[in-house]
Every structure is written in structure tokens, then in C-alpha cells.
Amino acid sequence: MKFFIDTANIEEIKEASSMGMADGVTTNPSLIAREEGNFQDILKEICKIVDGPISAEVISLDTEGMLKEARQLAGIHENIVVKVPMTIDGIKATRRLSEEGIKTNVTLIFSPLQALMAAKAGATYVSPFVGRLDDISHDGLLLVEQILEIYNNYAYDTEIIVASVRNPLHVLDAALMGADIATIPFEVLSKFASHPLTDKGIKAFLDDWNRAQK
Ligand code: E4P
């Protein structure tokens, strides 16, 4: 399973990368807005740290605007994946970008049929938002299960990025289902790196060791 880091924060990306846990990075306009500096410079910096897919989202809502932004973003680095919103205009843009060989991540996916449309349009990735569905009492991981089944039925190459991850169980369940990728906020990654019994075990080993030295 690939882990992407869901952040535009350079320090977090460096830290996850040094652990070997950053196979890629996803950003969105809200994540970029939290950081200092301009969008393109942040993306260039991220591309220097992580040698994997780096998602950068367009702001335009019309197909032509999306295409213009997408070509500019793709020109920054070969690893840039253009994030396009799941709308009719976004699907048209995805189709055109796919023909041009520009990688896309169709974002804000909340239903399996949206994911099917995105795959048919030639999306490289789709991002189902599990946390935001859970927030409104829907089952976010059921959506991932259904997309996996559909893509498997028809052998689509589009990879599933489980997004809007809010806790370690989202990642565990996604891994058990066989989702290709989870994009994980740094604080969630840190949570599942540690376990109280690991800490307790380390302390007990050290205490025993130190007692034996006296
Ligand atoms: C990543 O591609 C998404 O933009 C991100 O996971 C959304 O997360 P949120 O629902 O916590 O904002």
C-alpha cells in the first residue's frame, strides 16, 4: 500500500519522507492556504523532497480554465498530478488531460458513480473523501469498497487514493480492503506509529538493563 502525505507543510513532508512513509503528497487549496509562500514555490520545494506523485489542485471551475491551469502546474515538474474537482467540467478536463498525457486526480468523490465516470474519463487517480462522508453519518469506507469492486469488475487502471482520512482506523480498513493509496495527515500517521505497550515495553527493558548494571 502506498502512503501519501496529506499536507503542504514542508517540515511534515521532510519528516514523513525521512521515515520512508511519503510515497507521494496531496495538497488542496485549503492546505496550501495554511502555509507561507506562493503555490508554485511550495510545489517546487515538495518535488525536491519527495520523488513521487504530488497532487496540486486547480481553482477554475470551467473546463478551459482548468486546462490552462493544469498545463501550467504540470510544467512545474514531471511528478505533478493535477487535481480536478468532480464536476461535468472537471470530467471534460480530465478526458482532455488524459489525452495529453497529464496525470489527474479527480477529487471530492462522494459516490461510486462519480468514481466510475472519472475512471471512464481516464483519471489517473480518484480521491474518495471518507472522513467528510462519516461526518454526515454516511459510511465513507463503504464508498471505497464499492469503487474497488467496480474498478475490479472492469479492470480500470485508475488508482484509489483514500482521502479525508481522520484516524488510524480509516487507514487500517482501507489497507484490509486493498485500496491502492491512503493520503494521510501527518498527525494521523504519528498516531499509528506509536502504541502504549511499545512505550511500556521499552521502559521495562531499560529498567531491567539498568538494574542489572548496578
Ligand atoms: C486530499 O486529497 C483531500 O483534499 C483531503 O484529504 C481532504 O481532507 P479533509 O476532508 O480532512 O479536508
Q: DSSP string covering 21-49, please? A: --SEEE--HHHHHTSSS-HHHHHHHHHHH
pLDDT of residue 42: 98
Domain count, the chain: 1
Please give the pLDDT value at position 214: 80
Q: Is 196 exposed, middle or buried (0-12, 13-18, 19+ CB in 10 A)?
A: exposed
Alpha carbon of 124 to those of 48, 72, 99, 148: distances in Å? 22, 18, 12, 14
To the nearest 10°, the Cα dihedral for 22, 23, 27, 32? Answer: 40
Q: How far is the CA of 67 from the centre of ligand 1 (A)?
A: 22
* Pairwise CA distance, residues 206 & 19, whole Å: 24
Q: Is the pTM of this model over 0.75?
A: yes
Q: State the residue for C-alpha cell 513532508.
A: 13
Looking at the chain, which runs of residues are DSSP E strands? 2-6, 24-26, 54-57, 80-85, 104-109, 125-128, 159-162, 181-184
Q: What is the pLDDT of residue 157?
A: 97
Q: Whose CA is nearest to atom 6 of ligand 1?
A: 164
pLDDT of 9 reads 98
For residue 111, the enclosing domain spans: 2-212
What single letter denotes the amino acid at residue 110? Answer: F
- 47: domain CATH number is 3.20.20.70
How many angstroms does the Cα of residue 196 sit away from the middle of ligand 1? 28
Residues of the chain whose pLDDT is less than 50? none
How far is residue 18 CA from its own chain's centroid? 18
* Residue entry with cell 485549503: 30
Active site residue 83: yes
Residue 146, pLDDT score: 98
- The DSSP string of 110-136 is -SHHHHHHHHHTT-SEEEEBHHHHHHT
Which of 2, 5, 6, 25 maximizes ligand 1 atoms within 8 Å of its Cβ, making it the mutation to test the pocket? 6
As for ligand 1, residues whose beta carbon falls within 6 Å of it are 6, 26, 28, 107, 127, 129, 131-132, 163-164, 183
